[in-house]
Chains A and B, each alone.
Chain A
Amino acid sequence: MEFFRIKKDIPFMSYGRLTTAISLITFILAVLFLATRGLHLGVDFTGGTMMEVSYPQAADIGKIRGAIDQLGLGEVTVQNFGSSRDVLIRLPVRAGLSSAQLSEQVLTALKQADNSVTMSRVEFVGPQVGKELFESGALALLLVAVGIMLYLAMRFEWRFAVAAIIANMHDVVIILGFFAFFQWEFNLTVLAAVLAVLGYSVNESVVVFDRVRENFRKMRKAAVTTVIDNAITRTMSRTIITHFSTQLMVLSMLLFGGEVLHNFSLALTIGILFGIYSSVLVACPVAMYLGVSRENLITGAEKKPQEDPLP
């Protein structure tokens, strides 16, 4: 079986303007949603309490809300979670009341209303811890970006490093844009997914860049655009099949992983879909605009004779 039997190189670079325009529009939209709607941050980052309770039969949300409202805890959200039997309750941070007391109070109130309730999960994060988790998350993102750039600059060239990181930041912003648009909850696990996408998506750029470098060696006379077009065409089959395989795994998590892994797999899905596109159709044009050429890629043996001083 073979899906991609492409004889001639596809002139990707001549569509450069189109692909750049598409990226720019999606990117701007994502930034716009982020700015207007903002991320729906989970308790990991905002601080607060999240409780998951389950009932043997379908839960009566109205009754549960009534029982909790009696406690006067402020802005409480009650919603179904995964199935009709599972309920997620979110409580804001309350000064002077420890999490232990808070969740016990709520559970007691729920038990009074319906004794069959069982507690599945409680997560409480103090506001200070939430802030720290947010900061260390941002720091991790920055560190990954810098680390990858340094590695690529060392292994290839700074133009590729910059191009790859732009392509991948574009992916990250788009994932965040989706989370802002749909107001999906953004928590620590999703952050892990975003960082994993960052590492994974750079893979794609690396594979293409590797081929570009190889082509520069082999196709000595060809123009830069031809070299890049050939590299993309030759690796396209692999790019799509790899992403397809990874997506199969992510899909399995989306279907079987339950609520905890749901948003995690969503972030990965968006990251993988846009990763295919951006690592090829964003990274390469950017590298080209930055002026990648044979000379600045192939160092060493080919370069040395030129460095000899003229007599």
Chain B
Amino acid sequence: MNRYPLWKYLLVLTALVLGVLYSVPNLFGEAPAVQVSTSKNNISLDAALMGQVESTLKQANIEFDNLFLDANGVKVRFDTPETQIKAKDALQAALGKDYVIALNLVSRSPSWLSKLGALPMYLGLDLRGGVHFLLEVNMQAALTQAAERYAGDFRSALRKARINYSGINREGQTVQIRFRDSAELDKAKKIINRDYPDLTVKEQESGNEKILIASLSLASQKQIQEFAIKQNIQTLHNRINELGVAEPIIQQQGLERIVVQLPGVQDTAKAKEILGRTATLEIRMVDEEKTDPVTLENAAKGQVPFGTEFFKQRSGEPILIKKSVVLTGDYITDAGPGLDQQSGQSVVHVSLDSRGAGIFKQVTRENVGKRMAILIVEKGQAEVITAPVIQEEIGGGRVQISGMANIREATDVALLLRAGSLAAPMDIIEERTVGPSMGEANIERGRHSVLWGFAAIAIFMIAYYMLFGTVSVLALGINLLLLVALLSLLQATLTLPGIAAIALTLGMAIDANVLINERIREELANGNTPQAAIKAGYDRAFDTILDSNVTTMIAGLALFMFGTGPVKGFAVVHVLGILTSMFSAVIVSRAAVNLIYGYRRKVNKLSIG
């Protein structure tokens, strides 16, 4: 009666083989590696690149253990971190800035295992070190910026159509255009309705002025918000690529939030600075007509003339700059730091796209002899970097920004400009940073917790239930094996609370075996034969095991649904652990008991303590 059909033994055997296969990569540990990928779409990561990497390393006499291509790019494995750094520098020099060279860790497991999809568990940030940010996009600012842009567009559109208006300004998230007579207003209204179908236009009268109020329709507000978050994600991608991070995670969460995870980042301060910066470039004209000592003095006291803003330059010199923006950072295709050949000062070289180049050419032609200010706007605060006099028309879209304090600033500004600007400012609303040494310590703590706890349970179970206790411990060990294999296979993120969940799940899983063993003892005490006691024990205990696991499962699923970050990691492992423990405690342990007792002709006594 206590014999399994062959297929059940085969099922257990298959599970065991797969369990060993998929959990074994975790034993090999990780080796330092360099990952070569690209931020450009037109460059493909292929065998040719792999060859290039190989020959570069051979030329530089750098030894490597393994070289392979995967979805993320070319990865090269090294023996020591020193060679890793050397290789990174050599590759960066050889491949140029179109490629992102990042330091990484890859598994030391043999490649045939990786080909089967057997990879080590995916460690969360608290175990490998790194930064986690939750950023919230300031949507109000995005809408305000959009209104500002429309105001600029109206100015040029109305001027082009030769319509007389007395003023255009942004009021909250609407644009107000003031007219002296209604005929002009009607003409303007027609143009706006035709060219800007996204806007709803209303009329209003105040005193002898007629006002046209253009506001964003709900649909277009939504569109702008969606665009803002997409643009910000793209920008973050670009900036992170510049930092050289292997396997970054950048995801939208909800309507206005972005999660950024940078595993293994050592210089967290730099990462925060680069990510958090919302710098955008603005080129605006200096208001030369209103610039006289008296106006400047009044402006310093707060009486700023209409349509202008008052700034102090880096030298401390006061300056009045027009509010309307000539060019923004959106038109920049490339930027790089450099030195001015004449003065030796640090500068940033900027290339504009064809539209930007066209606008820049026109503006410089119309304003020769006047000053043009270059501002960097950060968190609503604009700073005038430089305000040079336009000597001549500048075509070709190549601009040099001088006025940088040093080469470091030039490099940072160039990075920010090159990586693109954010469509709307963002705030960090959650941050979790774990230093790399802390990550290793956490792995060690988790491992010790599981091992010592397992050992204690094993000693107790064997002492208390003898052979049946040994079978229970075997089942528990297989539970651990299967759980690790499942986590590796699914590549679910393992966190420290996740390791705690492994420990807790094992501690709870033994419950099933205790139930079974107690039940068998009870059946024996009731005078059943050993074979009948085994059968009754397993059969009767099963209902109870199922019930109790369902309730635990409900708790696990709720945690999974509502949990974030560390709690979610706990929940995933907990839920998977319940599944594996059902299998190992009931089917695997029964198979072992069947093999031990099921084929004996006569069993007088069970070794159950």
> In this assembly, does B317 line the interface, its C-beta being within 8 Å of a C-beta of chain A?
no
Known contacts A2-B609, A100-B431, A258-B442, A245 near B457 by CB under 8 Å: yes
- Interface residue A74 (Cβ < 8 Å from any Cβ of B): no
B510 touches A238 (CB 8 A): no
Assess whether B411 is interfacial by the CB under 8 Å rule: no
Is B506 interfacial (CB 8 A cutoff)? yes
> Which of B435, B448, B543, B564 meets A120, CB within 8 Å?
B435
Q: Is A153 an interface residue (CB 8 A)?
A: no
Is B69 at the interface (CB under 8 A from chain A)? no
- Whether B552 pairs with A203 at a CB distance below 8 angstroms is yes
Contact between A246 and B555, CB atoms less than 8 A apart:
no
A210 at the binding interface (Cβ < 8 Å):
yes
Q: Which residues of A lie under 8 Å from residue B82 when comparing CB positions? A: none
Beta-carbon contacts under 8 Å, A73-93 to B: none
Range of interface residues on chain B? 35 or more
C-alpha spacing A210/B501, complex, angstroms = 27
Q: Is A256 within 8 A of B463, CB to CB?
A: no
B337 interfacial contact with A, CB 8 Å: no
Pick the residue among B464, B561, B564, B566 that contacts A1 (CB under 8 A). B464
B514→A99 contact, CB < 8 A: no
Residue pairs across A and B with Cβ atoms less than 8 A apart, 12 shown, are: A107-B269, A122-B432, A123-B433, A148-B551, A192-B563, A192-B571, A199-B551, A199-B555, A200-B508, A203-B552, A207-B548, A268-B504
The verdict on A18 contacting chain B, using a C-beta distance below 8 Å, is no
Residue A125 at the B interface, CB < 8 A?
yes
- Assess whether B564 is in contact with A133, with CB atoms less than 8 Å apart: yes
- Let me know if A248 and B428 touch, CB within 8 A: no
Q: Check A63 for interface membership: any CB of B closer than 8 A.
A: no
**Known contacts A104-B269, A137-B562, A206-B547; A248 and B435 CB within 8 A of each other:** no
For B457, what are the chain A residues with a Cβ–Cβ distance below 8 Å? 245, 248-249
B200 at the interface (CB under 8 A from A): no
Main DSSP-derived SS at the B contact region: helix
Q: How far is B465's CA from A239's CA once the two chains are assembled, in angstroms?
A: 15
A123 x B554 contact (CB < 8 A): no
The answer to the question of B75 belonging to the interface, with a C-beta cut-off of 8 Å to chain A, is: no
Residues of B within 8 A of A251 (CB): 453, 456
- Complex-state Cα separation, A188 to B495, whole angstroms: 13
Interchain Cβ contacts within 8 Å, total number: 236
State how many angstroms separate the Cβ of A122 from the closest Cβ of chain B. 4
> Chain A interface mostly helix, strand, loop or mixed?
helix
Report B-chain residues with C-beta under 8 Å of the C-beta of A235: 518
Q: How far is the CB of A211 from chain B (nearest CB, A)?
A: 8
A115 CB–B CB distance under 8 Å: no
Q: Tally chain A residues at the interface, Cβ within 8 Å.
A: 71
Q: Which residues of B contact A39 (CB under 8 A)?
A: none
Residue-by-residue, is A94-130 near B (CB-CB < 8 Å gives 1, otherwise 0)? Answer: 0000111001100100000000001111111110110
Write the nearest CB–CB distance from B556 to chain A, whole angstroms: 7
A188-B565 in contact (CB<8A): yes
- Cβ-based interface call for B461 (8 A): yes
For A2, list chain B residues within 8 Å (CB). 464, 521, 609
Q: Chain A residues near B415: list those with CB within 8 A.
A: none
**Proximity bits, B263-278, A CB within 8 Å = 1, else 0:** 0000011001100100
Q: When A2-B521, A148-B554, A192-B571 are in contact, do A245 and B460 touch as well, CB less than 8 Å?
A: yes
Q: Contact partner of B431 among A123, A137, A245, A258, CB < 8 A?
A: A123
Is B355 positioned at the interface, with any CB of A under 8 Å from its CB? Answer: no
Interface contact A121-B435, CB-CB below 8 Å: yes
Instruction: Assess whether B47 is interfacial by the CB under 8 Å rule.
Output: no
Q: Which of B273, B544, B547 contacts A100 (CB 8 A)?
A: B273
